[in-house]
Structure 1
Amino acid sequence: MKTLIALGSFTFACAAFATQDVPPAQDYHYGQTLDIKRVVQPADLSFCGIREVEMVYEDSAGQLHRLRYPVWGLFCGNEN
């Protein structure tokens, strides 16, 4: 029964996050000043090479932003 309650709570929390108004992604430009108070959804870096990734963050006013930027993945093994 406790497992069922925990699963229901988790599902409700995920649904609440999904209904939040997250704006479309904005491209990062070198030297751009960002107001990041809290990272809500970090970028997934589980790849090799350079790709554009997206991060969702909250600014100091509590508004959500989605930022798109290029990054080198973390799973390249011994490749340089």
Structure 2
Amino acid sequence: MKAWLAVACLFTPCAVLAAQDAPPPQDYHDGQQLDIKRVVQQPDLGFCGIREVEMTYEDSAGQRHRLRYPVWGQGCGNEN
């Protein structure tokens, strides 16, 4: 499997292959209990304002999840 993935990355962008293995995103709800053992992909927060972002993580059983949630971006600088 790893050899196939390495060869496939030579001919196909790896991001496309990674997206095929990604589960559909789940929306976060206030008070929701999450089992996050390891963050696989953090969202880019380089924007200003509130936007929905997605984070990919693994739970304690090794299952991957994608979580969609609103967040205030960190790219506003000194704006009020």
Bin for the TM-score computed over the shorter chain: 0.7 to 0.9
Partner in structure 2 of residue 60 of structure 1: 60
Q: Unaligned 5+ residue runs, structure 2?
A: 1-5
Q: In 1, distance between residues paired with 2:32 and 2:19?
A: 28
Q: Unaligned 5+ residue runs, structure 1?
A: 1-7
TM-score, normalised on structure 2?
Answer: 0.76
Residues 5-63 of structure 1: CA distance to partner in whole angstroms, max 9, x if unpaired?
A: xxx7xx57x47x71762210000000000000000000110100000000000000000
SS in 1 for 2:57: strand
Q: In 2, distance between residues paired with 1:26 and 1:74?
A: 23
Count of aligned positions: 70
TM-score, normalised on structure 1?
Answer: 0.76
Q: In 2, distance between residues paired with 1:27 and 1:58?
A: 16
Structure 1 runs of 4+ aligned residues shifted over 4 Å read none
Instruction: Name the CA shift for 1:45/1:19 in 2 (closer, same or farther; >3 Å).
Output: closer
SS in 1 for 2:21: coil
